Amino acid sequence: MKVGTPKETAPDERRVALVPDTVSRLAAAALEVKVESGAGSEAFITDQAYEQAGAKIVKGPAALIGDADAVLKVQAPSEAEIALFKKGAVLISFLQPATQGDIVRALAAQGVTAFSLELVPRISRAQSMDALSSQASAAGYKAVLMAAGRLGKFFPMMMTAAGTVPPARVLVMGAGVAGLQAIATARRLGAVVSAYDVRPAVKEEVQSLGATFIELPLETQEGEGGYAKEQSEEFLRKQRELIGEHIAKSDVVITTAAVPGRRAPLLVTGEMVKGMRPGSVIVDLAAETGGNVELTKATCRRRCRCTQASFTPATSPTCCFTWSRMVRSSSTSRTRSRRAAASRTAARSSTSARSSW
């Protein structure tokens, strides 16, 4: 059996479906493994490392995909890649079938049997194949780092000779794998963290990480396998009304809510974003499936300071934007006035210090 791993072509994707350790095990099982040249370069894995593990390096995707009985990828294949598959081939990758129906239909028309990794059941026997949870954990961690880098204040409380700087307030919406990792990372950076989830069962987990669990007077929304079930529009409307004040008080909001096989629920409206302080940061991890935030643009590629990296675990969270960029025009005069006043104060302090010295 021939197994092939092409180089990922999706923008910003740095992952690769096979690493040398896995290649060695497949080769030991008498499988012929081929890897496209440069497939692991973005993950700092050289072609030589693959060859030493027992893989054959192939130049270009056409020869590799067209000859493979099984193709291993991270992201769903493009239309051009689908056309290269031979009939009867097998594809294993993330597919997002709920939002990428055209790709699924194209694979079916090509005669390809596709396995979507995000649909692997969450049971003990399949734990080693739970790629969704492992990548969600990486996403939650990176989401906080991105927010910290873009927020115009410190995450921890800073006590200095000039005074005390209060810690940043972080709100995490959704306490699944990604949410819990985000909570833990934000707490390690010293932020004051609160979290909300429609499943009250996660309250103890949130509190065990040092965060405050926000309880709203709404009915439980827990589905099968520990996931949240799809909520009605009436439930979401009430939820948005009640959570709005918590969002307005936060410096950073990280949304992680997802429902398997469905569009991501809308948790934060445009009006709620406008109620946040200028300079606040929102990281939406659900942009690939529609986004939890109304203003999320899943196809925005670094325009107007809105940083987009659709494939969260590979580089950074799905959509992250700084609200101050969107309200700068309305606050420019106030900002300039504050800066001018600060400059005058600093100048007077400097003069006084030199005189004292």
Token look-up 């596709």 returns: 114
List active site positions: 122, 127, 130, 133, 227
Amino acid at 159: M
User: How many other C-beta atoms lie within 10 A of the C-beta of residue 256?
Assistant: 32
The packing angle between helices 177-188 and 131-150, to 10°, is 40
Q: Which two tokens stand for residue 109?
A: 């028309």
Q: How many CB atoms lie within 10 A of CB 219?
A: 9
DSSP β-bridge partners for residue 262: none
Identify whether the C-beta of residue 287 lies closer than 8 Å to the C-beta of residue 300.
no
What are the contacts of 48-51 at 24+ separation with CB within 8 A?
49/20, 50/18, 50/20, 50/23
